Structure 1
Amino acid sequence: MNAHYTSAFFGPQVVSYVVYEKFRSAYYRGLEKLVYEVPKFYPGWSMRVYLNWAQDNLRDWACALACNNSHLDICDAQNLPGIGNVIESFPRIWRFSVMGDPLVNRYIVRDSDAPLIQREVDAVNEWISLGKCFHIMRDHVGHKARMMAGMWGGCNSWQPSKNKETRANLYLSTHEDNGDQHILTVRFSRVNKQRHLII
């Protein structure tokens, strides 16, 4: 298995996740279920998981998942093609690395402890049918933020250089920036509003 990507190319549509913290936390358990849910809810899409390859116990766990699920792509945060080592950045933003990736056309960013539901898939299909580049979802009365960190997506065909620039700006943030939610809102706020759909 390649240390940074399990494959050179996985296809143009990707569901992006991250796992971190102590092994076997809710994030890891959730991801083990999502590995089987993603191809059912998003047939033809690949699933990317960003993690710290050097973390104890993760290699065997990740290899076992990837070897048994051809749609799964394991990405090492210490060695991301086109980006490098982002291990010192806030871990939850690693999943945003899919933005600006020339191998990916369309992507959605999700939480590894949140199960997929049909209502979400319907919203994603609506976004695709309308031809918008970015989508932002809220699915609860408590979702007040401009962008929920695990409920958005985009396309890399829109101004590729701008996508890479935005991604680089996300990684300028530090652990003190109050988490992925704040980082995404502050660093991503200049995206052209005509190119996104709020659902």
Structure 2
Amino acid sequence: MNPEDQIEAMRLAKIDQTDSALALIDEALARDPDDFPAHLLRIKTMRFGGRLEGIMDVIDQAEEVARRNSLKGAEAELSFERGWILQSEDRLVEALEYFRKSAEIENPKVDYLSAVCSMLCKLGRYDEAVEWRHRILRMRNAEVGCPPEQVITAGRPKRFDPSTPERNIVSYSLFGQDRYYHECAITNARMHPVIFPEFTARFYCAPDLPEEVLLALRASGAQVMLARKEDNASSSPMAGTFWRFLTFDDPNVDVVLCRDVDSPVLPRERAAIEMWLASSEPFYCMRDHAIHAELILAGLWGGFTGVLPPLGPLAGSFVSQDFSRFSDQKFLRANIWPRLREGAIMQIDDFASLDGSVPFPDGFPKHGRQHVGVSWTRTQILGPPLKADQ
């Protein structure tokens, strides 16, 4: 499969044009039935598109091609794919074994380790998951870098001023038609005056959101910024996740906290932000669960403006090339973390997976599933589902 067709098939798959993607791949396989990358792309495309019926047979065919051609690394790739399919069927223990198999090869991809960590968390085996988390973060840290001139060594450009909440912004993205996220956003907006009185909530909203949602956000005192058409870089379905980063480019803003709309602000998070504000680092990030195996989580970081280069153009270029679900975190990993890691960011992380981490403040323990970054359940926000006879 030529590189151009491969890129196009991947693009089509990630914007839910599964049939068109599969047609391109099938043309390549008709030309060369032993084209293993095309077989693998077919499997991934079927998985992305939810076409799971018969997918294990497709994996079997790919294994036969790999065996016939003695392809190194193919077994790990296909074990990883089998794990994903079994996970989707809630066969978690079996999925874990396949993920482990993919991660046990020499020089495994970090995605293989991440899958093991995620599955251990789903199974409630958190102590084991933390060990994988350590490995993942160390690998990701080693994989990224930037030119020396881009490394940020300067401190804060100004002091934090709690008397100017209009210049201190908690930044969110809101898009899509799922009422759960709309209600999460409204709930967070209404809580902000109490939890973050020194800040103003700002929501970057898709223009097709229901008007009543926008009205409710404004009524709570939040700022509503309607996204422009050009903000949807190359029609990426994940472009909206980047909008909250645009606040860093606003000359009328001093401090930015980036958050997820579906996550409540816990006292533990508020205490951590107060600790950071009292420190000297211009940026912070938080990791508070075994599953938090990312260098910077897109909804758990923030910092002072005027320190980073303009993020709008940087993010726009990135998202136009990466349509994946976690492209915002990949962007932060590749473009922001290497600039900050030499001392410009406070890592708040009880698990201390990377050198320089500091624990969360004392007196704010986790209770049950209530870690920083946890999502509300749908029942908490929307109430229990109605019975069929109601």
Fold similarity call, TM over 0.5 = yes
Pick one of 146, 149, 160 that aligns with 2:298: 149
CA shift, 1:74, in A, is: 0.3
Residue 176 of structure 1 corresponds to 323
Residue 95 of structure 1 corresponds to 244
**Bigger helix fraction:** 2
Residue 227 of structure 2 corresponds to 77
Give SS of 2:170's match: strand
Letter in 2 for 1:176: F
Query: Deviations for 1:168-194, whole angstroms, at most 9, x for unmatched residues?
Result: 211212352543221221221332332
**Pair 1:196 & 2:196 matched:** no
Unmatched 5+ residue regions in structure 1?
A: 1-8, 80-84
In 1, Cα distance between equivalents of 2:288 and 2:199: 22
Contact between 1:156 and 1:163, CA under 8 Å: does it hold in 2? no
CA shift, 1:111, in A, is: 0.5
- Greater displacement, 148-157 / 183-192: 183-192
**Higher Cα Rg: structure 1 or 2?**
2
Query: Deviations for 1:48-73, whole angstroms, at most 9, x for unmatched residues?
Result: 001112x1x5233202430x222x00
> Taking structure 1 as reference, are residues 31 and 126 closer, same or farther at Cα in structure 2, changes over 3 Å only?
same
Pick one of 256, 276, 288 that aligns with 1:139: 288
Kindly report the root-mean-square deviation, in angstroms, between the aligned alpha carbons of the 2 structures. 2.0
TM-score normalized with structure 1 length: 0.81
Pick one of 302, 309, 313 that aligns with 1:163: 309
Give SS of 1:173's match: helix
In 1, Cα distance between equivalents of 2:217 and 2:324: 32
CA shift, 1:10, in A, is: 6.6
In 2, Cα distance between equivalents of 1:156 and 1:29: 29
Q: Which has the higher contact order (CA 8 A, sep 6+)?
A: 1
Residue 61 of structure 1 corresponds to 213
CA shift, 1:44, in A, is: 2.4
TM-score normalized with structure 2 length: 0.43
CA shift, 1:20, in A, is: 1.1
Give SS of 2:258's match: strand
In 2, Cα distance between equivalents of 1:19 and 1:110: 11
Contact between 1:110 and 1:150, CA under 8 Å: does it hold in 2? yes
In 1, Cα distance between equivalents of 2:251 and 2:324: 28
In 1, Cα distance between equivalents of 2:336 and 2:312: 9
**Bigger strand fraction:** 1
Unmatched 5+ residue regions in structure 2?
A: 1-163, 349-390
In 2, Cα distance between equivalents of 1:129 and 1:139: 20
Report sequence identity in percent.
Answer: 24
Contact between 1:99 and 1:163, CA under 8 Å: does it hold in 2? no
Residue 37 of structure 2 corresponds to none
CA shift, 1:19, in A, is: 1.0
Give SS of 1:163's match: coil
Letter in 2 for 1:60: E
Contact between 2:165 and 2:197, CA under 8 Å: does it hold in 1? no
In 1, Cα distance between equivalents of 2:329 and 2:336: 11
Contact between 2:165 and 2:198, CA under 8 Å: does it hold in 1? no
Count of residue correspondences: 177
Residue 269 of structure 2 corresponds to 120
